A and B are shown apart, each in its own frame.
Chain A
Amino acid sequence: MDKMPKWADVVLIPLISLLLAAVLSALVILGIGEDPVAAVKLMVDGALGSSYGWGYTLYYATNFMFTGLAVAIAAHAGLFNIGGEGQAMLGGLGVALVCLLIPWPHWTLALVFAAFGAGLFGAAWAAIPAYLQAKRGSHIVITTIMFNFIAAAVLNYVLVNLLRPEGSMDPATERFPEAVHLPSLHELLAPIGIEFSKSAPANVSLLVAVGACLFVWLLIWRTPLGYEIRSLGKSEPGARYAGISSVRTIMIAMLISGALAGMMAVNNVMGEAERLVLNATEGAGFIGIAVALMGRNHPFGVFLAAILFGFLYQGGAELALWTSIPRELIVVIQALVILFTGALDNMVRMPLERIFLAMRKGQN
């Protein structure tokens, strides 16, 4: 018998954790001599008060949906993929190669192949840690951390020595051709009569990200493969006795995870920067951890949590612009969310379980 009704597990615990993180963040803002209420107002205004703000919020949210889904699908298989950052970096390389090497006639075609390239590179970067975990039992957390650093070094080498245009000091590729420019939300919404900010970076990749959420939901809960992934995550011996190959399932789950993280590059590299720069990922791979924890590894939860973090990111940028609160406040909030929804989960859960048990006893 479950100690708690399902809604408490899915909704109540994340909300309480979020509330705790928010209260502590408010205390931090108070501590550095600023007004938390004014700060929240400024964040809401800046991130949600205009279509410009929404454009940025949704742009960040698109990144976080991909990386959050990547963490979530690995978590369903019982794996902690902390390497989303490296996989997204390599995904950027895939996008850049697809966009620069092939003269695309139209962005739709380019988008399909760029997403494929990004996914391929991201998956390839997840493949080695996955293989080592599946076959040799090397702890995937450590190997994916190491692969993040290796990815940074690889990207640095490729950008400085191979892809940098001649005469340029900047370690970045040249600009992608005009033909692969992805339409922004402004360009998408204008024909149907909706006015959307021209300068905001949110683009058609948002739809790809929403599609990815749907895909992951279908995969996890509506296919035999998803069933195998979940059984492996619940109990490896159990899955083995049921005839599920743990090696195969770990490999597939991690390849999909890496591909999803890599596909983030369609948004930030192809949709926004339109060239590959160093540190294009800006830590989005790590935010995926917070997003997946917050969203309870469910694609719809990840979708909501990604928008929440998109709001925090854009709001944080506005704070840094108008007040003396640095952008790093968002890193603190992110840390607190990870802490309460992840590591200190039991701190919230145990008292709640006791309350629900007491209530149930009272009814009988």
Chain B
Amino acid sequence: MDFLTIIQLLDSTVRLATPLLLACLAGLFSERAGIFDIGLEGKMLMAAFFSAAVAAVTGNVWLGLLAGIGSSLVLAGLHGVASITFRGNQLISGVAINFLAAGMTVLIAQDWFQQGGRTPSLIGGGRFTPINLPFAESLSGVPVLGPIYAELLSGHSILVYIAFLAVPATWWVLFRTRFGLRLRAVGENPAAVDTAGVSVVGLRYAAVLICGLLCGIAGAYLATALQAGFVKDMTAGRGFIALAALIFAKWRPWHAMGACLLFGLLQAIALRFQNIELGGITIPVQAMDALPYVLTVVILAGFVGKAIPPRAGGEPYVKER
């Protein structure tokens, strides 16, 4: 494998890791506040459809992004109502949201565009275009560092940079602000937060809505930047890979980035090579597909550093009366 191939592989790793990263950080906020969310997939899918649909109709990708975020927030609100207000089962609510998105997107797409559950292909202003970082052209001749800068770091859409900037931002919010301290506390011991006079319900809603916002960006990225338009079930399990990455990272922002890049790399490899020859043994492409999930199970099993979720995760908070 030559240098340029590696650069190209890493370049597509960054692009494939972006939606995982956004969804993973989304799950991080929600689960740190004690609300399990297996509906990341559904929220992304809904956002992917509405961003592509609005971008296709208006020709403006920013309006598309807003619509995507809006639709994802609606589903996040539903999850909040079910799991916070009505203290329902958060896992079942997540399952319902995934199906709701899978069904509604196709239903509405068929009604609006009559193209078999897809949106028209996005052209021109309907898509996020690559941003060339300054001097990328002129520096590309510099050996080693030039291609890394020009090919790997430059030339992504704005959402990619937002996703990677969201990592330090998440870290700062969670670990350096009062809001973040309370948010983490509400996921560990909501009764203590309540005793301190802080609203458990308010904090959890805030976390769930931040989760919706990030899932919205993730979905919009899929449909308007990574690909040009919405197709049925286009998230293809990414929400669950993000969930796997979240566990792999043990609910920590920087580790989440590492995990998402790793899983992105696996996707990039599976996309580029069908079967990989490694010392006489052929690794089938299916092994690449399954690896993120296998790794997550191994981590969950606690054989290589146990993953312990936030203590109050999945449990509705009932104030004593």
Residues of A within 8 A of B (CB): 28, 31-33, 80, 82, 128-129, 132, 136-139, 141-143, 145-147, 149-150, 152-154, 156-157, 160-161, 286, 289, 293, 324-326, 328-336, 338-339, 342-347, 350
Contact of B297 among A132, A161, A335, A342 (CB under 8 A): A132
Bound-complex Cα distance A156 to B38 (A): 25
Chain B hits for A350, CB < 8 A: 86
Contact of A346 among B87, B90, B104, B243 (CB under 8 A): B87
- Check if B142 is an interface residue, CB within 8 A of chain A: no
Interface pair B103/A339, CB less than 8 Å apart = no
What are 28 A-B contacts defined by CB distance under 8 Å? A32-B110, A82-B91, A82-B95, A136-B306, A137-B302, A138-B302, A139-B300, A143-B300, A146-B244, A147-B297, A150-B290, A153-B286, A153-B289, A154-B290, A156-B289, A157-B287, A293-B92, A326-B110, A328-B103, A332-B99, A333-B103, A335-B96, A335-B97, A335-B100, A335-B102, A342-B96, A344-B81, A346-B86
Contact of B103 among A139, A160, A331 (CB under 8 A): A331
Nearest Cβ in chain B — how far from A39, in angstroms? 13
Q: 11 new A-B pairs (CB below 8 Å) besides A157-B287, A293-B92, A331-B103?
A: A80-B92, A141-B38, A149-B240, A149-B290, A153-B286, A286-B99, A326-B117, A328-B102, A334-B99, A335-B98, A343-B96
- Check if B171 is an interface residue, CB within 8 A of chain A: no
Nearest neighbor of A293 in chain B, beta-carbon distance: B92
Chain A hits for B99, CB < 8 A: 286, 331-332, 334-335, 338
Bound-complex Cα distance A342 to B309 (A): 23
Bound-complex Cα distance A222 to B13 (A): 55
The A-contacting residues of B in range 249-306, CB under 8 angstroms, are 284, 286-287, 289-290, 293-294, 296-297, 300-302, 306
Q: Tell me the count of chain B residues lying within 8 A, CB to CB, of chain A.
A: 49
Interface pair B111/A149, CB less than 8 Å apart = no
Q: Which one of B81, B88, B243 has the highest number of Cβ atoms from chain A below 10 Å of its Cβ? A: B88
- Check if B83 is an interface residue, CB within 8 A of chain A: yes
Nearest neighbor of B308 in chain A, beta-carbon distance: A137
Given contacts A136-B302, A142-B247, contact A154 B286 (CB under 8 A): yes
Bound-complex Cα distance A143 to B38 (A): 12
Q: Which one of A143, A147, A326 has the highest number of Cβ atoms from chain B below 10 Å of its Cβ? A: A326
Interface pair B83/A343, CB less than 8 Å apart = yes
Q: Which one of B114, B300, B309 has the highest number of Cβ atoms from chain A below 10 Å of its Cβ? A: B300
Interface pair A335/B309, CB less than 8 Å apart = no
Chain B hits for A31, CB < 8 A: 111
Bound-complex Cα distance A335 to B107 (A): 13
Given contacts A143-B297, A331-B99, contact A289 B92 (CB under 8 A): yes
Bound-complex Cα distance A347 to B88 (A): 9
Bound-complex Cα distance A225 to B192 (A): 40
Nearest Cβ in chain A — how far from B104, in angstroms? 6
Chain B hits for A326, CB < 8 A: 106-107, 110, 117
Nearest neighbor of A155 in chain B, beta-carbon distance: B286
Contact of B91 among A80, A143, A157 (CB under 8 A): A80
Interface pair A32/B95, CB less than 8 Å apart = no
Interface pair B96/A142, CB less than 8 Å apart = no
Bound-complex Cα distance A346 to B111 (A): 33
- Check if B63 is an interface residue, CB within 8 A of chain A: no
Bound-complex Cα distance A142 to B104 (A): 25
Interface pair B302/A150, CB less than 8 Å apart = no
Bound-complex Cα distance A338 to B95 (A): 8
Q: Which 10 A-B pairs have the closest CB atoms?
A: A331-B103, A343-B93, A335-B99, A332-B103, A342-B92, A153-B290, A335-B100, A339-B96, A138-B300, A343-B88
